[in-house]
Amino acid sequence: MRRRFSCRRRLPTPTRQSTWLQDATGLAGIVLVLLVAVSFYLTNAPIRAQQQPAQPGQITDRFTRALDELDSDKLDVRLNGIYALERLMHRSRDDRRRTIIDVLVAYIREHAPASLPVRSNATVASATRPGHRQTATDVQAAMTVLGRRIPSAQDDVLDLSGIVLAGAKLNRAHLAGANLNGADLAAADLGAADLGAASLIGANLSGANLGGTNLRDADVSYADLTDAHLGRADLAHANLTEATLTGADLSGAELSGADLTGAELSGAGLSGADLRAAHRATGDSVRCVDVGGHAALPAGLARPVPGPSAGNGHCHGDEEPERGATTCRASAWPTWFPAWLAARSRAGCS
């Protein structure tokens, strides 16, 4: 009988050792995946804690701790307390939110300087130079927190009256309806801020940047806006009674419905501004004003004609403005005198 031979190769039978190695490799892979998952969970624990609603007891503890940090003599600790209050403000109900806002306002009052030296022409000129006056770091941080809060219908008006915030950085701040009566905001940056319906009676805004700022319906009466930048600001229906706007830049500003009774605009720039519906905008109001070629003036109001005396508004040649009148009278001075006077005074009318 013939023996039959097979050409197929027999596979080796797995040994106990190779089976153990395969099991160990699989187990190690499972353990590695579990370790990665646990590590990811622990790493993201703080994020999950912030996303979860805080319990009333936790909020109270954090609020108390933040208040303690505000009393520290170390700046970095105080700053940590200020920003801790900001986080709590965003996550608290309305009554706690109002309390936090009051705490920050009180902190600003406590740490901002009580007053500044009496200003003269020289000190005003130096104070309004960029970088000359700066708000304290912690006060600036507290104002930044208040300025970038999301306004709520339940918020009361911010009472910042009389506070010294000279040189503060408050661009795009939400300060609508705020009480800033008598506040010192000289050289402050309030560009594109919301000051709608705010009260700025008697405030010092000399040299301040208010470019593109919303001042609609604001009360800026008796305020000092000397050399302030108000380009493209919205001053519609604002009260500018007896405000000082000497040398201010109002180019492109919206002044429709604004009350300019007794406002001082000597040397101000009104190029492109809209005064057509401004109340009580008289010839005296726009005397010695650079209205440019695009300013819209109220009906019946003559456009100032600049002449060789550069800065004398209506008057030109060897005429000079007579104080209290809208006409010009002949000058008894030589023809070069108005130009010399203009070099000494930006308005040329004093």
**pLDDT tens digits for range 150-168:** 887 666 789 999 999 999 9
- Structural domains counted in the chain: 1
- Residue-level pLDDT at 278: 74
> Which structural domain, as residue segments, surrounds residue 191?
55-223
Classified as helix, coil or strand, 137 is helix
Greatest mean pLDDT among 115-119, 280-284, 333-337: 280-284
Q: Is residue 137 part of a domain?
A: yes
What's the whole-model pTM score? 0.68
Classified as helix, coil or strand, 171 is coil
Question: Radius of gyration (Cα) for the chain, nearest Å?
Answer: 34
Q: Is residue 41 part of a domain?
A: no
- Residue-level pLDDT at 28: 78
Task: Kindly report the CATH number assigned to the domain that includes residue 67.
Answer: 2.160.20.80
Burial readout 194-212 (b: 16 or more C-beta within 10 A, e: otherwise): bbbbbbbbbbbbbbbbbbb
| Tens of pLDDT, residues 101-114 | 999 999 999 999 87
Helices (H), the chain: 16-43, 45-51, 56-70, 75-91, 94-111, 121-127, 137-147, 337-344
| Tens of pLDDT, residues 259-281 | 999 999 999 998 888 777 676 55
Q: Please, what is the average pLDDT of the chain?
A: 77
- Residue-level pLDDT at 107: 98
- Sequence-separated (6 or more) residues with CB below 8 Å from residue 233: 210, 211, 212, 213, 214, 215, 250, 253, 254
Q: Is residue 132 part of a domain?
A: yes
The yes-or-no verdict on residue 148 having pLDDT over 50 is yes
Q: Is residue 173 part of a domain?
A: yes
Q: Is residue 296 part of a domain?
A: no
Q: Is residue 254 part of a domain?
A: no
Ranking 16-20, 175-179, 322-326 by mean pLDDT, the lowest is 322-326
Q: What is the largest CA-CA distance in the chain?
A: 151
The closest alpha carbon to 227, from 344, 115, 131, 124, belongs to 124
Q: Is residue 23 part of a domain?
A: no
Q: Is residue 211 part of a domain?
A: yes
